[in-house]
C-alpha cells in the first residue's frame, strides 16, 4: 500500500503511532479494518449524541438523497431548511427567532460575531469590542481563535488575531471576580458582545461553572446593552443534561451557536440563531445593511433532513431518560474518583465526567497526553485527554457495563501514570 498522503487534524505526524482505519461504526463502537473494536468514549470529538449511525437519522439521509442535493440558498429555499428552522426555534430558549445556517461550529461563531458587529453598525451605535472568557475555545479559524484562549495552538497566527477583552474563568469561590470584571468591561461603550461557552468550557479542559454565574452574566449584559453570544456548539443537544445549557440558567442569549450534535453527529451542519432585534437591524431597504455572509453549503438539504430526523429522535424516543440515566452513572463514577489519590478536580456536568491526573507536567503538550491515549487504545477505548485532563463524553447509548470498563481503565491509568498527592 502506498504511504498515506492525508494530513490529519491536531496530529504531529512525526510522532503519531500508526493511525487505525475505521471501516464501520455502530452505536458507541468503531470497527477497524484489522478487526478491532474501539469504544468511542468521546463521541468522535463531541459530535455523536445518540450513537453512531442512529437509524432514524440514517434513513432520513437516504430518503433526502432521493429528492435533493445542494441548492443555492440565496434567493431559494427548501422544505428541510424551513421545517428545521421552525423546529429549532421551538427547542432553543425563547426569544431566538431567526435561524442562519452554515456548516461548522467555527463558522457559526464567525456568523455570530459578524451579526453582533452588524447589529451595532446598523443601529447607528457602532461597537466592536468582543469580550471573551479565559480558557475558552470557539474554533480554529482566525476570528474564532481571536476570541479563544491564546496558547501553543495559535502562537504562530497571533499577529493575525484581533484583540479582545477577557474575563477570568469563574473558578469556585472566585465567581464574583468574573462578574465584576465583566461589569466593568460591559460599561465601556465599545463593548459589543460577550461570547461564552455556557456551563462547560470544552477544549479549554472541560472546566465547569454553575448556572447562577451564567444567569448573572446575562443580567449584566442586558443592563449594559452588551449582546450575549452563547456558543452551544459542544454543550447543545443534551450534553449538560438539558437540550441546551442556557436552559439551566433560565436565560436566553441574544445569539446562540449550534453545530456538532445538530444532526446527531451524522453530517456537518451549523446554525446561528438570533433575536428579532438583531434581524430587524439588518432588515432595511438600504442594501448596505444586508447581512453579508454565506457558505457554499449553507442549509445543505441532506444535512437539514438529518437534523430534522435528530429532532424527531428527541421528540419520539426517550432521549431525556437516556441522558438522565447516563448523567446518574457519571455522577456515580465521579464518587469513585473523588478520593482517588492519583486524580484531582474530578467534576461532572450532565453526561460529561472530567478529572485531572496528578502528574509532574500539566498543560496540553504534557508528555502524558499521547501516552494516555495509547494506553486506552490498547484497551480498545477511544479516550483523548486534553493534556493531563481525562474526560468521558460518550454517546447516550453507552451502557453501564461499558462505562464501568472505562472507569476501571481510568483507575488503572492513574496507578500507571499518576503521582500521589
**Residues in the site for ligand PLP, rule: CB under 6 A?**
104-106, 109, 137-139, 197, 202-203, 231, 233-234, 259
CA distance 273 to 233: 12
Q: Which is nearer to ligand PLP, 241 or 418 (CB)?
A: 241
384 is in an annotated binding site: yes
CA distance linking residue 256 with residue 392, whole number of Å = 25
User: Which cell goes with 335?
Assistant: 464518587
Based on the number of CB atoms within 10 Å of its own CB, is 316 exposed (0-12), middle (13-18) or buried (19 or more)? exposed
Judge contact between 378 and 337, C-beta under 8 A. Answer: no
Q: Which is nearer to ligand PLP, 105 or 253 (CB)?
A: 105
Q: How far apart are CA 80 and CA 301, in angstroms?
A: 6
Distances (CA, A) of 234 to 45, 89, 160: 9, 18, 26
105 is in an annotated binding site: yes
In 3D space, the residue among 254, 269, 231 whose CA is nearest the CA of residue 118 turns out to be 254
Give me the least distance between CB of 111 and ligand PLP, in Å please.
12
E-assigned strand segments in 103-147: 129-133
Instruction: Compute the least distance from the CB of residue 334 to ligand PLP, in Å.
Output: 22
Whichever of 364 and 417 has its CB closer to ligand PLP, that residue is 364
Query: How many helices (H) and strands (E) in the chain?
Result: 12, 16
CA–CA distances in Å: residue 226 to residues 110, 158, 219, 236, 264: 17, 26, 10, 23, 32
- CA 58 to chain CA centroid, nearest Å: 22
**Contact indicator for 197, 235 with CB cutoff of 8 Å:** yes
The answer to whether 295 is annotated as binding is yes
Closest distance to ligand PLP from the beta carbon of 46 (Å): 6
378 CA to centre of own chain? 27
Q: How far is the CB of 401 from ligand PLP (least distance, A)?
A: 28
* Closest C-alpha to 407, from 320, 340, 321: 340
Report in angstroms how near the CB of residue 200 gets to ligand PLP at its nearest.
9
Does the annotation place 45 within a ligand binding site?
Answer: yes
Shorter beta-carbon distance to ligand PLP: residue 211 or 281 = 211
Name the residue nearer to ligand PLP (CB basis): 175 or 197.
197
In the bound state, the residue with its beta carbon closest to ligand PLP is 105
> Based on CB atoms, which residue is closest to ligand PLP, 49 or 340?
49
The separation between CA 271 and the C-alpha centre of its own chain, rounded to angstroms, equals: 13
Q: Residue 112 CB, nearest distance to ligand PLP (Å)?
A: 10
Q: Which is nearer to ligand PLP, 270 or 348 (CB)?
A: 270
Pick between residue 144 and residue 340 the one whose CB is nearest to ligand PLP. Answer: 144
For residue 329, give the C-alpha cell.
452513572
To ligand PLP, the closest distance from the beta carbon of 132 in angstroms equals 12
The residue assigned the cell 460529561 is 352
Kindly report the three-state secondary structure assignment for every residue of 72-94.
CCCCCCCHHHHHHHHHHHHHCCC
CB of 103 to ligand PLP, least distance (A): 8
260 in a labelled binding site: yes
Q: Which residues are annotated as a binding site for pyridoxal 5'-phosphate?
A: 105-106, 231, 295-296
Indicate the annotated binding residues. 45, 105-106, 137, 231, 260, 294-296, 384
Amino acid at each position: 500500500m502506498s504511504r498515506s498522503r492525508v494530513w490529519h487534524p491536531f496530529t504531529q505526524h512525526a510522532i503519531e503511532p500508526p493511525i487505525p482505519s475505521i471501516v464501520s461504526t455502530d452505536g458507541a463502537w468503531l470497527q477497524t479494518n484489522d478487526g478491532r473494536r474501539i469504544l468511542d468514549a468521546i463521541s468522535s470529538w463531541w459530535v455523536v449524541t445518540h450513537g453512531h449511525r442512529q437509524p432514524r437519522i440514517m434513513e432520513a439521509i437516504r430518503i433526502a438523497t432521493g429528492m435533493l442535493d445542494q441548492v443555492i440558498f440565496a434567493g431559494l429555499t427548501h422544505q428541510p431548511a424551513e421545517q428545521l428552522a421552525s423546529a429549532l426555534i421551538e427547542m432553543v430558549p425563547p426569544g431566538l427567532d431567526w435561524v442562519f445556517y452554515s456548516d461548522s461550529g467555527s463558522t457559526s461563531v464567525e456568523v455570530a460575531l459578524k451579526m453582533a458587529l452588524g447589529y451595532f453598525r446598523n443601529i447607528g451605535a457602532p461597537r466592536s469590542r468582543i469580550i471573551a472568557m479565559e480558557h475558552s475555545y470557539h474554533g480554529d479559524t482566525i476570528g474564532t481563535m481571536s476570541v479563544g484562549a491564546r496558547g501553543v495552538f495559535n502562537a504562530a497566527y497571533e499577529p493575525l488575531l484581533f484583540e479582545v477583552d477577557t474575563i477570568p474563568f469563574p473558578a469556585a469561590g472566585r465567581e464574583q471576580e468574573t462578574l465584576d470584571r465583566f461589569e466593568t468591561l460591559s460599561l465601556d461603550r465599545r463593548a459589543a458582545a460577550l461570547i461564552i461557552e455556557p456551563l462547560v468550557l470544552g477544549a479549554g479542559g472541560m472546566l465547569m461553572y454553575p448556572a447562577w454565574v451564567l444567569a448573572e452574566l446575562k443580567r449584566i449584559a442586558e443592563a449594559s446593552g452588551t449582546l450575549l453570544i452563547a456558543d452551544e456548539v459542544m454543550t447543545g443537544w443534551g450534553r449538560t443534561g438539558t437540550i441546551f445549557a442556557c436552559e439551566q440558567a433560565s436565560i436566553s442569549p441574544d445569539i446562540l451557536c449550534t453545530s456538532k450534535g445538530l444532526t446527531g453527529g451524522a453530517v456537518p451542519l451549523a446554525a446561528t440563531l438570533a433575536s428579532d432585534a438583531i434581524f430587524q437591524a439588518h432588515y432595511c431597504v438600504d442594501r448596505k445593511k444586508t447581512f453579508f455572509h454565506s457558505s457554499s453549503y449553507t442549509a445543505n438539504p441532506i444535512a437539514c433532513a438529518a437534523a430534522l430526523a435528530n429532532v424527531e429522535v428527541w421528540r419520539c424516543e426517550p432521549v431525556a431518560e437516556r441522558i438522565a440515566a447516563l448523567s446518574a452513572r457519571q455522577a456515580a463514577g465521579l464518587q469513585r474518583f473523588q478520593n482517588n489519590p492519583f486524580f484531582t478536580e474530578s467534576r461532572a456536568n450532565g453526561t460529561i465526567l472530567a478529572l485531572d491526573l496528578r502528574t509532574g507536567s500539566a498543560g496540553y503538550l504534557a508528555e502524558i497526553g499521547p501516552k494516555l491515549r495509547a494506553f486506552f487504545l490498547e484497551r480498545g477505548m477511544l479516550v483523548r485527554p486534553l493534556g493531563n485532563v481525562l474526560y468521558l463524553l460518550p454517546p447516550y447509548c453507552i451502557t453501564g457495563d461499558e462505562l464501568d470498563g472505562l472507569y476501571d481503565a481510568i483507575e488503572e491509568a492513574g496507578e500507571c501514570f499518576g503521582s500521589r498527592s
